[in-house]
Each structure stands twice: as structure tokens, then as C-alpha cells.
Amino acid sequence: MVEGSQIDWAGHAHDAAWAMNDSKAFDEAVAAAIEFAKKDGNTLVVVAGDHETGGMSVGANGVYDVKTEVLHDVTATGDVMASKLSESRDNVQEVVKEHTGLDLSEDEVNRIVEAKDPAIAINEVVSDRALIGWTTSAHTGTDLPIYAYGPQAEAFSGLLDNTDIPKKMAKAMKIELNN
């Protein structure tokens, strides 16, 4: 079992770069599992999430595009950057430039300086630059996809209740559950 748990925290914090990095690491783990399953021929790989967080969307400020290249230069989370801010936050421009490569506008600097939570403000400025939007800092009710590869993968198609997933996995492994 592999858990990509950091994407949840990234969604709460509106940290698109952190979410992308965790997704990349998770994707690499899934690729390794599928490669093993292809060679083994007897391994079922199931990829499922428990919920979506943050309501990340492609497109921000009325522009439906994404600039992922903005996220490639981010070397720290918003929390790390916020922890490096002085008490007066007069070093916002320098801290954000060091960890993102971005030159902030005066409005962006003021947004971070005046924010109740500077970490989220930094993340939202970076997200805006990448044209990534957020709808909430909480969990959403979005249906999640489920992917399966290997023997009995067909049992994981269609719309499933999340409580059915472990039952289907137990059946695939020939494990009897006590209900």
C-alpha cells in the first residue's frame, strides 16, 4: 500500500506546487507497482482516493489555461516561506523570489503582508500566477476516479461507494470479511 497523503495538506493550504510534487511522487509509485504487476501477472493494483481537498481548478481570473512552468521553480511550501518572513513581513519580495523565482507586484506583496495567514496568501499568489484556482480550503464532495490494473480489475469500474472498495479488494484476495 502506498499513500500520497501530502496532497490533502497541499489542498487545504492552496499550495499547487506541493500538490504537483506529491502527485508526481505518487505517480512514480503507481508506475512501479504497475510495472511489477505486468511482470508478475498475479498482482492487482488499485488506485483510489478518499476525498478531494481544495477544489483545485485549471484557470484563474477568467483565463482557462494553466502555466505549470510557474510551479517548476518552487522550492519550498508556503508554510516554509512564511516561516522565513520577518515580523513586519518587509522581506516578502526576497523570500518569495528565493523560493519561486517570481518578482511580485506591489499588490501581491501587500496581499501577503496584510494576510491573516501569509502561507496561504503566498500559495494563492503562486497559484494565480500559474492560473490555478481554488474553491475551498476544506474537503469537497467531488466524486473521485478509481483505477485498477491486473486480475479482477473489471470489478473496480463504474460508480462505486467508497465502502465497497475494500470489500472488492478482499474478494479479489479471497479473504472473507466478517460483516
**Residue-range definition of the domain harbouring residue 110:** 5-173
Consult the annotation and say whether 164 binds a ligand: no
Consult the annotation and say whether 3 binds a ligand: yes
Q: State yes or no: pLDDT of 61 exceeds 90.
A: no
Residue 120: all three cell numbers together: 496561504
Consult the annotation and say whether 51 binds a ligand: yes
Give me the pLDDT at residue 58, please.
87
Give me the pLDDT at residue 59, please.
74
Do the domain assignments include residue 99?
yes
Looking at residues 69-93, what average pLDDT do you find?
97
Do the domain assignments include residue 20?
yes
Do the domain assignments include residue 61?
yes
Cell numbers 479471497 correspond to what residue? 174
pLDDT band at 179, cuts 50/70/90?
low
Consult the annotation and say whether 90 binds a ligand: no
Consult the annotation and say whether 161 binds a ligand: no
Report CA-CA distances (Å) from 72 to 21, 102, 157.
Answer: 9, 11, 34
Q: State yes or no: pLDDT of 126 exceeds 90.
A: yes
Percent of the chain with pLDDT strictly greater than 70: 98
Do the domain assignments include residue 179?
no
Inter-residue contact 21 to 72 (CB < 8 Å): no
Give me the pLDDT at residue 65, please.
85
Do the domain assignments include residue 19?
yes
Q: State yes or no: pLDDT of 137 exceeds 80.
A: yes
Do the domain assignments include residue 101?
yes
Inter-residue contact 121 to 110 (CB < 8 Å): no
Do the domain assignments include residue 93?
yes
pLDDT band at 178, cuts 50/70/90?
confident
Residue 171, CB half-sphere, CA atoms under 13 Å: how many?
A: 10
Tens of pLDDT, residues 86-115: 999 999 999 999 999 999 999 999 999 999
Distance CA 85, CA 164 (A): 47
Q: Give the DSSP letter of residue 156.
A: G
Q: Work out how many domains the chain is built from and give that number.
A: 1
CATH code, domain carrying 154:
1.10.60.40
Q: State yes or no: pLDDT of 62 exceeds 80.
A: no
Consult the annotation and say whether 12 binds a ligand: yes
Do the domain assignments include residue 71?
yes
